[in-house]
Chain A
Amino acid sequence: MKVAVCIKQVPDTEARLRVAKDGRWIEEEDLPFVINESDEYALEEGLRIAEQTGGEVVVFSLGPERVREALRKALALGAARAVLLKDPAFAGGDATSTARGLAAAIRREGAELVLTGSQSDDLGFGSTGSLIAGELGWPHAWLVMGLQVEEGAKTARVVREMEAGKNEILRVKLPAVVEVQAGINHPRYASLKGIMAAKKKEIAELGPADLGLDPALLGTAGARLEIVSVGPPETGKGAQILEGDAPATAKKLVELLQREARVM
Chain B
Amino acid sequence: MTNQIWVVLQQRDGKLHRGSWEAIAAAQRLAATIGGGVEAVLLGHGVGALAAEVAGRAQLAALHVVDDERLASYTPGTYVGALAGALRAAAPRFVVAPHTYQTVDYLPRLAHAIGAGILPEAIAFEGTADALVFKRPVLGGKMHARVRVVGSGCVCLSVQSGAFSADSVAAGSAPVTALAVEGGALVADREILGVEDVAGDTVDLSKAEIIVAIGRGIGGQDKMGPVEELAKVLGAEIGASRPVIDSGWLARDRQIGSSGQTVAPKLYIAAGISGAIQHLVGMKGAGCVVAINKDPGAPIFGVAQYGIVGDLHEVLPALVAAIKEARGS
Contacts and interface: CB of A to CB of B under 8 A. Distances in A.
Contacts of B190: 139, 141, 158, 170-172
A181 interface: yes
Contacts of B223: none
A95 B118 contact: yes
A224 B104 contact: no
A236 interface: yes
Tell me what chain A mostly uses at the interface: helix, strand, loop, or mixed.
mixed
Contact of B198 (A167, A229, A250): A167
Contacts of B57: none
Contacts of A159: 196
B118 A17 contact: no
Interface stretch (A56-64, A204-212, A252-260): A252-260
Interface string A183-225: 1000000000000000000000000000000000000000111
Given A123-B138, A233-B302, A257 B288 contact: yes
A121 interface: yes
B323 interface: yes
A130 B151 contact: no
Interface in B134-184: 136-151, 153, 155
B145 to A, nearest CB: 5
A258 B243 CA distance: 31
Contact of B143 (A26, A96, A170): A26
Contacts of A171: 190-191, 193
Given A26-B143, A171-B193, A227-B147, A263 B288 contact: yes
A126 B156 CA distance: 13
A131 interface: yes
Contacts of A251: 318, 322, 325
A11 B143 CA distance: 13
A88 to B, nearest CB: 18
Contacts of A142: 101, 104-105
Contacts of A52: none
Given A96-B118, A257-B267, A131 B295 contact: no
Centre residue among B141, B191, B199, B245 by max chain A CB count within 10 A = B191
Nearest to B267: A263
A250 B318 contact: yes
Nearest to A222: B151
Nearest to A143: B101
Interface in B311-329: 311, 314-315, 317-319, 321-323, 325-326
Nearest to A241: B307
29 contacts: A17-B297, A26-B143, A94-B118, A121-B139, A121-B140, A130-B106, A133-B109, A139-B189, A165-B200, A166-B197, A168-B192, A170-B190, A224-B116, A228-B148, A230-B139, A230-B143, A233-B277, A234-B302, A235-B299, A239-B306, A242-B307, A246-B311, A246-B315, A247-B321, A251-B325, A254-B319, A257-B267, A263-B267, A264-B323
Interface of A: 11, 13-14, 16-17, 19, 26, 94-96, 121-127, 130-131, 133-135, 139-143, 157-173, 181-183, 223-236, 238-242, 246-247, 249-251, 253-258, 261, 263-264
